[in-house]
Chain A
Protein backbone atom coordinates (compact mmCIF):
# COMPACT_ATOMS: atom_id res chain seq x y z
CA UNK A 1 0.00 0.00 0.00
CA UNK A 2 1.18 3.49 -0.81
CA UNK A 3 2.06 5.60 2.17
CA UNK A 4 4.72 6.69 4.60
CA UNK A 5 6.86 3.96 6.17
CA UNK A 6 8.83 4.57 9.36
CA UNK A 7 11.39 2.25 10.90
CA UNK A 8 11.94 1.17 13.60
CA UNK A 9 8.62 1.26 15.45
CA UNK A 10 10.31 1.13 18.86
CA UNK A 11 13.82 1.98 20.02
CA UNK A 12 15.61 2.30 23.33
CA UNK A 13 18.86 4.26 23.38
CA UNK A 14 21.38 5.07 26.05
CA UNK A 15 22.28 8.69 26.64
CA UNK A 16 24.98 9.75 24.22
CA UNK A 17 24.23 7.14 21.56
CA UNK A 18 23.41 8.15 18.02
CA UNK A 19 20.90 6.66 15.66
CA UNK A 20 18.91 7.30 12.50
CA UNK A 21 15.15 7.09 12.21
CA UNK A 22 14.18 6.04 8.72
CA UNK A 23 11.30 7.45 6.69
CA UNK A 24 10.29 6.55 3.15
CA UNK A 25 7.28 7.48 1.04
CA UNK A 26 6.21 6.12 -2.34
CA UNK A 27 3.68 8.79 -3.31
CA UNK A 28 6.18 11.06 -5.06
CA UNK A 29 5.49 13.79 -2.53
CA UNK A 30 7.82 16.76 -2.58
CA UNK A 31 7.20 17.91 0.98
CA UNK A 32 8.35 15.83 3.94
CA UNK A 33 8.55 16.65 7.64
CA UNK A 34 9.49 15.21 10.98
CA UNK A 35 7.36 15.88 14.04
CA UNK A 36 7.64 14.81 17.64
CA UNK A 37 4.65 14.26 19.87
CA UNK A 38 4.92 14.86 23.59
CA UNK A 39 2.11 14.82 26.18
CA UNK A 40 0.34 18.19 26.35
CA UNK A 41 2.51 19.60 23.55
CA UNK A 42 0.85 18.29 20.45
CA UNK A 43 2.97 17.76 17.37
CA UNK A 44 6.04 19.95 17.07
CA UNK A 45 7.96 20.33 13.84
CA UNK A 46 11.62 19.28 13.98
CA UNK A 47 12.82 19.62 10.37
CA UNK A 48 11.18 19.71 7.00
CA UNK A 49 12.06 19.46 3.32
CA UNK A 50 10.38 20.91 0.25
CA UNK A 51 12.25 18.71 -2.19
CA UNK A 52 15.38 16.64 -2.72
CA UNK A 53 18.43 18.55 -1.56
CA UNK A 54 16.42 21.17 0.36
CA UNK A 55 15.88 21.06 4.11
CA UNK A 56 15.05 23.61 6.78
CA UNK A 57 14.56 23.81 10.52
CA UNK A 58 11.27 23.63 12.32
CA UNK A 59 10.35 24.62 15.87
CA UNK A 60 12.59 22.18 17.76
CA UNK A 61 15.62 21.30 15.58
CA UNK A 62 18.36 21.14 18.20
CA UNK A 63 19.97 17.72 18.53
CA UNK A 64 18.67 16.48 15.18
CA UNK A 65 20.01 16.42 11.63
CA UNK A 66 18.27 15.60 8.38
CA UNK A 67 19.18 15.19 4.73
CA UNK A 68 17.10 14.64 1.62
CA UNK A 69 19.14 12.99 -1.11
CA UNK A 70 16.11 11.46 -2.85
CA UNK A 71 12.43 12.36 -3.11
CA UNK A 72 11.48 9.11 -1.34
CA UNK A 73 13.66 9.17 1.78
CA UNK A 74 13.98 11.62 4.66
CA UNK A 75 16.04 10.16 7.54
CA UNK A 76 16.25 11.87 10.93
CA UNK A 77 19.55 11.56 12.82
CA UNK A 78 19.95 11.92 16.54
CA UNK A 79 23.53 12.99 17.06
CA UNK A 80 23.92 12.31 20.80
CA UNK A 81 20.71 11.09 22.39
CA UNK A 82 19.43 12.79 25.53
CA UNK A 83 16.52 11.82 27.84
CA UNK A 84 14.69 14.97 26.64
CA UNK A 85 14.47 13.32 23.23
CA UNK A 86 12.24 10.56 24.58
CA UNK A 87 9.15 10.99 22.44
CA UNK A 88 7.06 9.60 19.62
CA UNK A 89 8.39 10.68 16.25
CA UNK A 90 6.22 11.01 13.17
CA UNK A 91 7.34 11.42 9.61
CA UNK A 92 4.86 12.99 7.20
CA UNK A 93 4.69 13.86 3.54
CA UNK A 94 2.42 15.92 1.31
CA UNK A 95 2.14 16.63 -2.38
CA UNK A 96 2.54 20.40 -2.13
CA UNK A 97 1.66 23.30 0.14
CA UNK A 98 -2.04 23.05 -0.73
CA UNK A 99 -2.48 19.59 0.73
CA UNK A 100 -2.49 18.13 4.21
CA UNK A 101 0.00 15.59 5.43
CA UNK A 102 0.02 11.83 5.23
CA UNK A 103 1.65 10.54 8.39
CA UNK A 104 3.63 7.41 9.12
CA UNK A 105 2.69 5.23 12.08
CA UNK A 106 5.42 6.62 14.30
CA UNK A 107 8.61 5.61 16.11
CA UNK A 108 8.49 5.44 19.90
CA UNK A 109 11.93 6.37 21.19
CA UNK A 110 13.07 6.06 24.78
CA UNK A 111 16.41 7.47 25.89
CA UNK A 112 17.67 6.15 29.23
Chain B
Protein backbone atom coordinates (compact mmCIF):
# COMPACT_ATOMS: atom_id res chain seq x y z
CA UNK B 1 0.00 0.00 0.00
CA UNK B 2 1.59 3.24 -1.15
CA UNK B 3 1.89 5.80 1.63
CA UNK B 4 2.86 8.58 -0.77
CA UNK B 5 0.82 9.07 -3.91
CA UNK B 6 1.21 11.21 -6.98
CA UNK B 7 -2.03 10.75 -8.86
CA UNK B 8 -1.05 12.64 -12.01
CA UNK B 9 1.40 10.61 -14.10
CA UNK B 10 2.01 13.54 -16.42
CA UNK B 11 1.54 17.29 -16.75
CA UNK B 12 2.05 19.56 -19.73
CA UNK B 13 2.56 23.31 -19.28
CA UNK B 14 3.46 26.21 -21.55
CA UNK B 15 6.79 27.92 -20.97
CA UNK B 16 6.42 30.92 -18.65
CA UNK B 17 3.29 29.59 -16.95
CA UNK B 18 2.98 28.00 -13.52
CA UNK B 19 3.48 24.26 -13.02
CA UNK B 20 1.73 22.71 -10.03
CA UNK B 21 2.65 19.18 -9.05
CA UNK B 22 0.64 17.44 -6.34
CA UNK B 23 1.38 14.78 -3.78
CA UNK B 24 -0.82 13.11 -1.15
CA UNK B 25 0.22 11.01 1.81
CA UNK B 26 -1.61 8.76 4.20
CA UNK B 27 0.63 8.63 7.27
CA UNK B 28 -0.04 11.54 9.64
CA UNK B 29 3.27 10.79 11.38
CA UNK B 30 5.30 11.98 8.38
CA UNK B 31 7.19 15.10 9.36
CA UNK B 32 9.67 15.80 6.57
CA UNK B 33 8.95 16.02 2.87
CA UNK B 34 11.16 16.41 -0.17
CA UNK B 35 10.86 16.87 -3.90
CA UNK B 36 13.31 15.32 -6.33
CA UNK B 37 13.77 15.94 -10.04
CA UNK B 38 14.89 13.19 -12.39
CA UNK B 39 16.14 13.44 -15.95
CA UNK B 40 16.30 10.34 -18.17
CA UNK B 41 19.30 8.08 -17.54
CA UNK B 42 20.26 10.05 -14.42
CA UNK B 43 19.66 9.61 -10.73
CA UNK B 44 17.12 11.81 -8.93
CA UNK B 45 18.47 15.12 -7.67
CA UNK B 46 17.23 16.93 -4.59
CA UNK B 47 15.11 19.99 -5.34
CA UNK B 48 13.46 21.35 -2.20
CA UNK B 49 12.24 20.17 1.19
CA UNK B 50 9.80 21.19 3.90
CA UNK B 51 9.42 20.31 7.53
CA UNK B 52 5.99 19.71 9.05
CA UNK B 53 6.42 22.76 11.28
CA UNK B 54 6.15 24.95 8.18
CA UNK B 55 3.46 25.30 5.54
CA UNK B 56 5.58 26.90 2.84
CA UNK B 57 9.18 26.87 1.67
CA UNK B 58 10.61 28.83 -1.26
CA UNK B 59 13.79 28.46 -3.25
CA UNK B 60 13.96 30.66 -6.30
CA UNK B 61 11.32 29.58 -8.81
CA UNK B 62 10.33 26.60 -6.66
CA UNK B 63 7.87 26.72 -3.77
CA UNK B 64 6.55 23.78 -1.80
CA UNK B 65 3.29 24.07 0.11
CA UNK B 66 2.25 21.69 2.88
CA UNK B 67 -1.34 21.22 4.05
CA UNK B 68 -1.11 18.89 7.03
CA UNK B 69 -4.83 18.64 7.65
CA UNK B 70 -5.38 17.47 4.08
CA UNK B 71 -2.16 15.40 4.05
CA UNK B 72 -1.25 17.13 0.82
CA UNK B 73 1.78 18.90 -0.54
CA UNK B 74 2.35 20.66 -3.81
CA UNK B 75 5.30 21.98 -5.75
CA UNK B 76 4.88 25.21 -7.69
CA UNK B 77 7.32 26.19 -10.41
CA UNK B 78 7.04 29.79 -11.58
CA UNK B 79 7.83 30.57 -14.31
CA UNK B 80 8.21 27.16 -15.91
CA UNK B 81 11.12 26.66 -18.29
CA UNK B 82 11.77 23.93 -20.89
CA UNK B 83 14.72 22.74 -18.78
CA UNK B 84 12.25 21.90 -16.02
CA UNK B 85 10.93 19.04 -18.16
CA UNK B 86 11.65 15.96 -16.04
CA UNK B 87 10.00 13.46 -13.71
CA UNK B 88 9.29 14.86 -10.26
CA UNK B 89 9.09 12.61 -7.20
CA UNK B 90 7.82 13.59 -3.80
CA UNK B 91 9.10 11.73 -0.74
CA UNK B 92 8.18 11.64 2.93
CA UNK B 93 9.75 10.45 6.16
CA UNK B 94 8.43 9.80 9.64
CA UNK B 95 10.25 11.48 12.51
CA UNK B 96 13.14 9.41 13.84
CA UNK B 97 12.63 6.77 11.18
CA UNK B 98 15.25 6.10 8.57
CA UNK B 99 13.05 5.28 5.61
CA UNK B 100 11.91 7.67 2.93
CA UNK B 101 8.78 6.75 1.00
CA UNK B 102 8.54 7.95 -2.58
CA UNK B 103 5.60 8.64 -4.82
CA UNK B 104 5.33 7.18 -8.31
CA UNK B 105 6.40 10.42 -9.99
CA UNK B 106 4.86 13.03 -12.30
CA UNK B 107 6.38 13.64 -15.71
CA UNK B 108 6.39 17.37 -16.43
CA UNK B 109 6.66 18.62 -20.00
CA UNK B 110 7.24 22.34 -20.43
CA UNK B 111 6.51 23.36 -24.00
CA UNK B 112 8.50 26.23 -25.55
* Residues of A that sit less than 8 Å from B by CB: 4, 31, 33, 35, 40-45, 48, 50, 56, 58-59, 90, 92, 97-98, 100-106
How many angstroms from the CA of A45 to the CA of B96 in the assembled complex? 17
Stretch in B12-20, B38-46, B59-67, B78-86 with 4+ CB within 8 Å of A: B38-46
B102 close to chain A: CB less than 8 A: yes
Knowing that A33-B100, A44-B102, A100-B91 are A-B contacts, what are 19 other residue pairs whose CB atoms are under 8 Å apart, sorted by A's residue number? A4-B43, A31-B98, A42-B2, A42-B103, A42-B105, A43-B91, A50-B98, A56-B98, A92-B43, A97-B96, A98-B32, A100-B46, A101-B44, A101-B46, A101-B100, A103-B43, A103-B44, A105-B41, A106-B43
How many angstroms from the CA of A33 to the CA of B99 in the assembled complex? 9
Question: What B residues does A43 contact at CB under 8 A?
Answer: 44, 89, 91, 102
How many angstroms from the CA of A50 to the CA of B79 in the assembled complex? 39
How many angstroms from the CA of A4 to the CA of B45 in the assembled complex? 12
> Lowest 6 A-B CB distances belong to which pairs?
A103-B43, A43-B102, A42-B104, A100-B46, A42-B102, A100-B34
How many angstroms from the CA of A42 to the CA of B100 in the assembled complex? 12
Interface residues on B, range: 20 to 34
> Which B20-68 residues sit within 8 Å CB-CB of chain A?
32, 34, 36, 41-46, 49
How many angstroms from the CA of A40 to the CA of B105 in the assembled complex? 8
**Contact in complex: A104, B43 (CB < 8 Å):** yes
**Contact in complex: B98, A103 (CB < 8 Å):** no
Q: Can you report 20 residue pairs joining A to B where beta carbons are below 8 Å apart?
A: A4-B43, A33-B100, A41-B104, A42-B2, A42-B102, A42-B103, A43-B91, A48-B98, A50-B98, A90-B43, A92-B43, A98-B32, A100-B46, A101-B44, A101-B46, A101-B100, A102-B46, A103-B43, A103-B45, A106-B41
